[in-house]
Amino acid sequence: MSAPEEFDVIVVGGGPAGSTAATLIADQGHRVVLLEKQRFPRYQIGESLLPATVHGVCRLLGVDEEIRRAGFTAKRGGSFRWGTSPDPWNFLFALSPELSGPTSYAYQVDRMTFDDILLRNAARHGVDVREESSALEAVTTGERVTGVVYTDPAGERRELAAAHVADASGSTGRLHAAAGGTRQYSEFFQNLAVFGYFAGGGRLPEPDAGNILCAAFDEGWLWYIPLRDDLTSVGAVLNRDQAGRIQADREGTLRESIRRCGIVRDLLGDAERVTEGTYGSVRVRRDYSYAGTRFWAPGITLIGDAACFIDPVFSTGVHLATYSGLLAARSINSVLAEELSEDRAFGEFEGRYRREYAVFYEFLAAFYDMRQREESYFWKARKVTNMQSGDMEAFATLVAGAASAESALVGADTRTAAERFTSASADLSHAVQRTGAARTPSGERMTELFRAPVVSGVMSEMNRIQRRGVSGPATAEPPLLDGGLVPSADGRRWAEPAAEGA
Q: Summarize as ranges the residues that interact with ligand FAD (CB under 6 A).
A: 12-18, 35-38, 42, 44-49, 134-135, 168-170, 172-173, 193, 235, 285, 287, 304-305, 309, 312, 315, 317-319, 321
Q: Whose Cβ is closer to ligand FAD: residue 16's or residue 491's?
A: 16
DSSP letter (8 states) at residue 72: P
Least separation, in Å, of the C-beta of 210 and ligand FAD? Answer: 13
Sign of the torsion angle spanned by Cα atoms 331, 334, 338, 340: negative
Least separation, in Å, of the C-beta of 393 and ligand FAD? Answer: 26
Least separation, in Å, of the C-beta of 96 and ligand FAD? Answer: 18
Q: Whose Cβ is closer to ligand FAD: residue 321's or residue 370's?
A: 321
Q: How far apart are CA 308 and CA 14, in angstroms?
A: 17
Q: Whose Cβ is closer to ligand FAD: residue 83's or residue 173's?
A: 173
Q: Whose Cβ is closer to ligand FAD: residue 2's or residue 172's?
A: 172
CA distances from 266 to 38, 218, 258, 261, 270 (A): 38, 17, 9, 9, 9
Helices vs. strands in the chain: H and E counts, helices first: 16, 23
Least separation, in Å, of the C-beta of 107 and ligand FAD? Answer: 11
Q: Whose Cβ is closer to ligand FAD: residue 36's or residue 427's?
A: 36
Residues 6+ apart with CB under 8 A from 9: 22, 25, 30, 31, 32, 33, 162, 163, 164, 165, 166, 332, 336
Q: Whose Cβ is closer to ligand FAD: residue 135's or residue 392's?
A: 135
Round to the nearest angstrom and report the end-to-end CA distance of the chain.
Answer: 51
CB 331 within 8 A of CB 346: yes
Q: At 486, phi and psi to the nearest 5?
A: -125, 160
CA distances from 198 to 235, 385, 412 (A): 11, 38, 48
Q: How far apart are CA 172 and CA 325, in angstroms?
A: 18
CB 237 within 8 A of CB 192: yes
Query: Which residue type, as a one-letter code, is found at position 52?
Result: A
Q: Whose Cβ is closer to ligand FAD: residue 399's or residue 495's?
A: 399
Least separation, in Å, of the C-beta of 359 and ligand FAD? Answer: 16
Least separation, in Å, of the C-beta of 318 and ligand FAD? Answer: 3
Q: Whose Cβ is closer to ligand FAD: residue 312's or residue 441's?
A: 312
Q: How far apart are CA 320 and CA 315, in angstroms?
A: 10
Least separation, in Å, of the C-beta of 443 and ligand FAD? Answer: 26
Least separation, in Å, of the C-beta of 396 and ligand FAD? Answer: 21
